[in-house]
Structure 1
Amino acid sequence: MQSILLVEDDAKLAGLLSSYLNRNGFQVHVVEEFRHVLDEFLKTGADLVLMDVNLPQYDGYYWCRQIRTHSICPILFISARDSGMDQVMALEHGADDYITKPFQYEVVLAKVRSHLRRAYGTYAAAQQELKVRNGPMVLYPERFVLELHHLTVELTQKESVLVEALMSKAGRVVGRERLLDLMWEDQHFIDDNTLNVYITRVRRKLKDLGAEDLLETVRGAGYRLLDLGTAAQEGL
């Protein structure tokens, strides 16, 4: 029986949704102590997380990032906050889907089953976690974590895409247009300075790893990440 961690501070809704999922073959663990969401996740070993955005102490985005440092399991947000920016933030913080309230229980069930099939089913490529390497530097793009010499930093979804593009072409220049294409489907709505902002953020993350000099700006061309070895992808 697959297990679900339900992080919802509306006790009535949590009870109803938990009962519905239980009746449909899932073991549901309902979080009651919202200061220890990560501990509950690690203790239960849940296969999937259903998470509200508005929670006591820390919001769902925070807990999503914490879980992502340990697991690539599906994380689905359920929230009354229905703006496009809320959904973008959820995805950038590591979520797989976003369901707005009020919702139909059948829709939640269908999405839960779909994400579980994708993560653990017959066609899941979960036998080996995807890694992008540049010598001793390793990016885990499915959980937005960058590692170097046993130090790790958390990335946002956009930062992860940017780092992956640079690591995959380590030692070579990656043009600004190419990076914009990878990070945003429609560049027309992206200010030219936005990429500069993300480059600055990535440089700060590299500094936390003691590698602030790895990323170079090549004027008039783009950016280059120093080749620390053989840039390679595993798990493809």
Structure 2
Amino acid sequence: MEYKIYIVEDDLSISNILKEYIVKYGFEAKTAENFENIIRDFEEYKPDLVLLDINLPKFDGFYWCRKIRQQSKVPIIFISARDSGMDQIMALESGADDYITKPFYYEVVIAKIKSHIRRAFGDYASSIQEKIVEVDKLKFYPERWELEFNDKSIILTKREGILLEYLMKKYPKVVSRDFLLEKIWDDIEFVEENTLSVNISRIRKRLQLLGIDNGIETIRGAGYKLNKTW
């Protein structure tokens, strides 16, 4: 199978060289042309992996990453000259799977593409029954970051999904802040003190969209727990 790579990079010299390398290594590739509607091109091309820059015309890469995640779980790799820890955190929280800083070796990009393709579709892709975490009617599918309750469903970002999965697995126990930080940020050097609180707040809002109010309870001095209010 010839996997399709969608390159969203407004520097033509970089995007064209990336395309050359990607095609050379046996993949199909398409470079973005209409930066005002990346989603339309994404839906038409149906790529298996997306390379995404942050600094783009009209809307930035974080915006388009979130939009893609609302409808797809394909691997997303950011390629950007912005190398701050916060940019990497924002990328991962927006739903990205990896982050490569410029300038980069094109061989490294190819290696990353191959690795994520294997994980998503090839040698490392799961061939067993899809994993599911359940607490009564609340169901979370960690392989596609989808949260379902009754007849409604939404797609979570990667960080939201990891947090909620552990809260559901540990239910009805309290999960400490240190445990959650260790699980989701062990590969990131810089983390602001309130980052965990911000993500918990986002999950609460996601649960509200499904009709669940007060879905996560803060236990002062201890951590958080899933609050089964349905």
Sort the TM-score into its range (normalised by shorter chain).
Answer: 0.7 to 0.9
**How far apart are 1:221 and its partner, in Å?**
4.5
Cα distance in structure 1, aligned partners of 2:195 and 2:205:
16
1:88 maps to 89
Q: State whether structure 2 residue 54 is matched by structure 1 residue 53.
A: yes
Counterpart CA distance in 2 for 1:52 and 1:5 is 11
1:81-120 superposed matches below 5 A: 81-120=82-121
Percent identity, aligned pairs only, is 50
State whether residues 75 and 120 of structure 2, in contact with CA within 8 Å, keep that contact through their aligned partners in structure 1: yes
Aligned position for 2:162: 161
Aligned length: 227
CA distance in 1 between partners of 2:21 and 2:167 (Å) = 45
1:120-159 equivalent positions in 2, closer than 5 A: 120-125=121-126, 129-159=130-160
Residue type of the partner of 1:115?
A: H
Task: Report the alpha carbon displacement of residue 62 of structure 1 after superposing the two structures with TM.
Answer: 1.4
- CA offsets, 1:56-76, max 9 Å, x none? 121111111222222222111
- What is the distance in 1 between the residues matched to 2:158 and 2:125? 21
Q: Give distance in 2, aligned partners of 1:57 and 1:126.
A: 40
**Partner secondary structure for residue 55 of structure 2:** coil
What is the aligned-residue RMSD (CA, Å)?
2.8
Unaligned 5+ residue runs, structure 1?
230-236
Establish whether residue 65 from structure 1 lines up as the match of residue 63 from structure 2: no
Residue 152 of structure 1 contacts residue 209 of structure 1 at CA under 8 Å; is this kept in 2? yes
Change (3 A) 1:47 1:131: same
Shift of 1:146: 2.8
Measured at CA, do residues 90 and 142 of structure 1 come closer, stay the same or move farther in structure 2, by a change above 3 Å? farther
What's the CA shift string for 1:28-81, capped at 9, x where partnerless? 111111122222222222111111111112111111122222222211111111
3-state SS of 1:53 partner: coil
Q: Quick one: distance in 2 between partners of 1:84 and 1:196?
A: 18
TM-score between both structures, scaled by the size of structure 2: 0.83
Partners in 2 of 1:190 and 1:79 — Cα distance? 19
Q: Using a 3 Å threshold, how does the CA distance of structure 1 residues 204 and 34 change in structure 2: closer, same or farther? A: same
Alpha-carbon deviation of 1:219?
Answer: 5.0
Q: 1:124 to 1:226 in 2, by over 3 A?
A: same
Partner of 1:171: 172
Matched with 1:225 is: 226
Cα distance change of structure 1 residues 193 and 81 upon mapping to structure 2, 3 Å threshold: closer
Moved over 6 A (4+): 189-192
Deviation at 1:176, TM superposition (A): 4.0
Query: In the aligned structure 2, how far is the partner of 1:181 from the partner of 1:8?
Result: 33
Partners of 1:85 and 1:173 lie apart in 2 by 28
| Structure 1 equivalent of residue 11 of structure 2 | 10
Are the equivalent residues in 2 in contact too, given 1:6–1:28 (CA < 8 A)? yes
Aligned position for 1:215: 216
Q: Deviations over 1:194-235 (max 9, x none)?
A: 544443333232222221133334455543324489xxxxxx
Matching residue of 1:232 = none
The answer for the alignment partner of 1:28 in structure 2 is 29
CA contact (8 A) 2:147 2:154 kept: yes
**Contact 1:94 1:143 (8 Å CA) reproduced:** no
CA distance in 2, matches of 1:112, 1:194: 29
**Gap regions ≥5 residues in structure 2:** none
CA contact (8 A) 1:5 1:41 kept: yes
- The answer to whether the Cα contact below 8 Å between 1:76 and 1:96 also exists between their aligned partners in 2 is yes
The TM-score with structure 1 as length reference comes to: 0.81
Q: Per the alignment, in what secondary structure is the counterpart of residue 81 of structure 1? A: coil
CA distance in 2, matches of 1:194, 1:82: 18
Distance 2:38 2:131 in 1: 26
User: Residue 77 of structure 2 corresponds to which residue in structure 1?
Assistant: 76
